[in-house]
Structure 1
Amino acid sequence: MPKRVFMHIGAPKTGSTYVQNVLFGNAERLERAGLLIPATFYAHDQAMTDLRQVPWRDPELYWTWERLLERFGRWPGDVVLTSEGFGAATAEQARRAVESLAPAEVHIVVAARDLWRTFPSMWQQSIRARSTWRFEDFLTAVEKGRFDGFWDHYTANRMFRRWGDLVPPAQRHIVTVPQPGAPQDLLWRRFAGILGIPDGICEPAEPESNPSLGAPEIEVLRRVNDALGDLYPHRLPYQRVVHHHLLRAVLQQRDNDMRFGVGLDRAEWVAALADEQIKELQDYPCHIVGDLAELRPGRMCESVSPDSLDDRQVLDAAIQTIVGMITHAESLQQQLQRPPGMLARVKRGVRRRLVS
């Protein structure tokens, strides 16, 4: 069994994609340095859905929690497990995970981001996961106490209640997400410090690996989700079709310059929530990497809501999306029509020219 296991459990929308890209992109280098990132990101993600037994998990998943543990059972060094979905586990599921890792020394790593940026990011993430609720409905549900799951799934405070109490204080780590304008690799350097990764081992990853959508684009996706009905009810089929052919191929390729966010009418509410969150974390015995003050919103300014767009704006975005999908479909058709073996011949020709 490994000496130490670092469980990076979330929260979602705290730069986890960026950190995971660095980890898995440098897995071989890290393994030579004694730190194992077992299997692939999808293995960690599937093991998370198995551990939590979520209804939207792939019914034919290969990687169970136990199978992932078997993958590194004989590793003598340190191990990192990472999925922003781990943090939403129940107290019982978290206990099962930590106990199954014994006798390894388990470290819980949680990232936290200010709520002013978290609210729109979390809502967008839910739309990307097939939800259909409006942005204002989401904010009202949180504000009125009708969506307690937000705090359970997206804040370090609640995650520590279920996960942190299972390990000694020295093995609880919270990483604060830097405010805009900070060095691009600062978040990674904070994670690397917890894991004991020296400078120079890892090649950096692109800092923006999961670009956000603008207000018209996310509203188009929300309406598409509504029109899909019961089509693609499970997460993986939805990702393979809608994410691949609509989200990544078209919507993320647009300018997305009409940003959306929480209105200034809720600024005092968000600031008060931030103060409560900071106070609770200050009182919780854990290793803080960064500055809890970064959880206080920085510059708060007025922004548009996807709900406030008129039909012409949404229609224009939808038409441009159709044009983008036509172009994407044409590209796929050209790939299918390419003669067998053509790519190999092109590669051989390039090699000959390089040699000569």
Structure 2
Amino acid sequence: MPSHDGHPVTFHVGTPKSGTTSLQNILAGNRALLRSHGFLYPGENQGHFIEAMSLREGGFRGHEFESAEGAWDRTVAEVLAHDGPTLLSHEILGGSKRRIVQRAADSLPGRRLRVVITCRDLGRQFPAVWQEGVKNGDTVTYADFLAESFDGWDGPGASAGMWRGQNLASVADRWGSVVGHDNVVIVTVPPSGADKDVLWRRFVEAVGLPDVDYEIPDVPRNPSLGTVETELLRRVVARLPEDLAWPTYSRQVKRRLAQKRLVKEKTGGSLSVPPAHHDDVRRVSAEMLEAIRGHGCPVVGDLADLEPAFDPAGTSPDEVTDAQLLERSLDVLVPLVLTEGPAPKRQPVTRRIAEQGARKTGQKITDRLKRMRP
């Protein structure tokens, strides 16, 4: 049998909200094309969420996934059987503790391990991370989220709260301590207004994907909500039962309400970092970038892309009025009222006949009793 030792295995580990879903969508859509050129993108799903759950030996939002049982081991077997390079991708991997990173490395003996971290400036990340948290069931206000995040920043080693997955310096250091910092590649998301394919091209270069014609979807996979819509969703979530199971929440709230109905409009503008926190964002970004430069990780793109950018027309939930929330609620409610539900089930003919006969018999008895009355 041929030896597969030395083939690279690349972990794309986030950061969350840095275009990861769109990249995974492209990868999944071109899985067969990649395989035909000797490059393995394992499994059948868009990204490797279940595999990551299995590796981390944990659940998500209090839910344990039965399909995660043994999923990592099955993926490892697929990777080790492949005679060529492999890519594994899910943003939840970025926040993994060092022992999980070490477990991932130990399970792939003989392979050259590489890590790719896509990242975006914190001026755009703060709104996106809070909004994604609300989609996933968080009820903390935007103001409290910002305050807690800045209070939790204690330098480039910060890993509490949002910083577990969003502190680029800490993520790079945890993975780099296992695979070597020179094997951790930073891919920067270009500024707003850049060509939509720039990030993909940078990702292809960083991972070393084949130079072929990929099919690129036109529609983004995880579009953002407007400020009013996000605040409305947060208030809806706050009224839901605390014991609502994640599969039900994901299906009914995250996908049906947020990603199918609320995403259609952005009333009240787009969420942004309030001016009062601009200096805080710049301070944290400067400390993070200084640490990254110290790690010496290769960069595809430009670290200048990570200088904070703020939307001058952006809005905050503090500016949202009850009237706006009511109006948007009605916009969502009316189509739901007009949506026809499933047709009532027709009773079997034999059952209808039996019920009709019982009613006729009952009526006859009633008539007889009436005639017997004095």
Q: Which residue of 1 aligns with 2:323?
A: 312
2:116 to 103, 109, 113: 109
Deviations 1:8-31 (A, max 9, x none): 001000010111111111011011
* Alignment gaps of 5+ in structure 2: 154-158, 347-374
1:180 and 2:186 equivalent?
A: no
**What is the rounded CA distance, in whole Å, between the counterparts of 2:267 and 2:189 in structure 1?**
23
TM-score by length of 2: 0.83
SS class of match (1:283): helix
8 Å Cα contact 2:272-2:311 kept in structure 1: no
Task: Describe the shift of the 1:201–1:221 C-alpha distance in structure 2 as closer, same or farther (beyond 3 A).
Answer: same
Kindly indicate whether residue 81 of structure 2 is the aligned counterpart of residue 74 of structure 1.
yes
What residue identity is the alignment partner of 2:281? Answer: V
Counterpart CA distance in 2 for 1:254 and 1:323 is 15
Corresponding residue to 2:72 among 48, 65, 70: 65
CA deviations over 1:297-346 (Å, ceiling 9, x no partner): 2355263211331211111111111123335x43x648x99xxxxxxxxx
Structure number with greater Rg is 2
Work out the CA distance in 2 between the residues paired with 1:206 and 1:108. Answer: 27
Task: Decide whether the 8 Å contact of 2:185 with 2:298 is kept in 1.
Answer: yes
The 5 Å alignment of 1:241-320 reads 241-256=252-267, 258-301=269-312, 303-320=314-331
Moved over 4 A (4+): none
- 2:52 corresponds, among 48, 51, 75, to 48
State the AA in 2 paired with 1:209. Answer: R
1:8–1:82 contact (8 Å) kept in structure 2: yes
Answer yes or no: is the 8 Å Cα contact 2:22–2:221 preserved in 1: yes
* More displaced stretch, 194-203 vs 118-127: 194-203
Instruction: Indicate which of 217, 220, 237 corresponds to 2:229.
Output: 217
Unaligned runs of 5+ in 1: 338-356
Shift of 1:138: 0.1
Q: Secondary structure at the match of 2:312?
A: coil
Describe how 1:144-183 pairs up with structure 2 within 5 A: 144-145=151-152, 148-183=160-195
The alignment of Structure 1 onto Structure 2 pairs a total of residues equal to: 333
Does the CA contact (< 8 Å) of 1:113 and 1:176 recur in 2? yes
Question: Contact 2:27–2:46 (CA<8 Å) still a contact in 1?
Answer: no
Identity %: 31
Greater Cα shift, 127-136 or 223-232 = 223-232
CA 274–320 in structure 1, closer or farther in 2 if over 3 Å, else same? same
Residue 324 (1) aligns with residue 331 (2)? no
Task: Return the alpha-carbon distance in structure 2 between the equivalents of residues 46 and 169 of structure 1.
Answer: 27
Q: Which residue number in structure 2 is paired with residue 12 of structure 1?
A: 16
Cα separation, 2, equivalents of 1:157 and 1:326:
49
Distance in 2, matches of 1:120 and 1:265, equals 14
Indicate conservation of the 8 Å contact 1:264/1:301, yes or no.
Answer: no
2:102 aligned partner, one-letter code: R
What value does the CA root-mean-square deviation take over the aligned residues?
2.2
Structure 2 match to 1:354: none
